[in-house]
Amino acid sequence: MKAAEHKKYLFEICEKIDLDLESPTCKKLKEHLAQCPDCAAYYDSLKKTIVLYRNYEVEMQGSRVTEILSRLDLEDDADAKGHLKIKLPKKPDA
């Protein structure tokens, strides 16, 4: 098939890949896919690309709450000590 004729469809496929083909804006595209095996293959592969990445999940082992909170505590402690050293005014009666 001539590439130029189909480029607009290829472009449209990419734009509408996340829409339901049943939606009214996809009517022409759906008709074209039904009679053009190349565009249909393209549609299929693009859809699969997205689905593959969507299905690629990772799970973290355990929780990092303890690490994160103790980092915050450490920083706050260091901060507090810094303030004590630098900013604590001498008591007037000292």
Partner 1 sequence: MEDDTKLIAASKAGDKKAFGQLVKKYEQLVYSFSFKICRDKNKAEEVLQETFINAYRGLNSFSGNSKFSTWLYRIVTNNCLMMHRKKSHEPVVSIEEADLFKGTDELQIPHWGETPQDVVLNKELKDVLDRAIQKLPLDYRIVFVMRDVEGLSTEEVGKTLNLSVPAVKSRLHRARLFLREELNPYFSK
Among 20, 24, 35, 57, binds partner 1 (CB under 8 A): 57
54 binds partner 1 (CB under 8 A): yes
CB burial of 65-85 (b: ≥16 within 10 Å; e: otherwise) equals: eeeeeeeeeeeeeeeeeeeee
50 binds partner 1 (CB under 8 A): yes
Q: Per the structure block, which two tokens stand in for 56?
A: 């690629």
1-20 positions binding Zn ion, by CB under 5 A: 6, 9
Helix (H/G/I), strand (E/B), else coil: 70: helix
20 binds partner 1 (CB under 8 A): no
Binding region for Zn ion (CB under 5 A): 6, 9, 36, 39
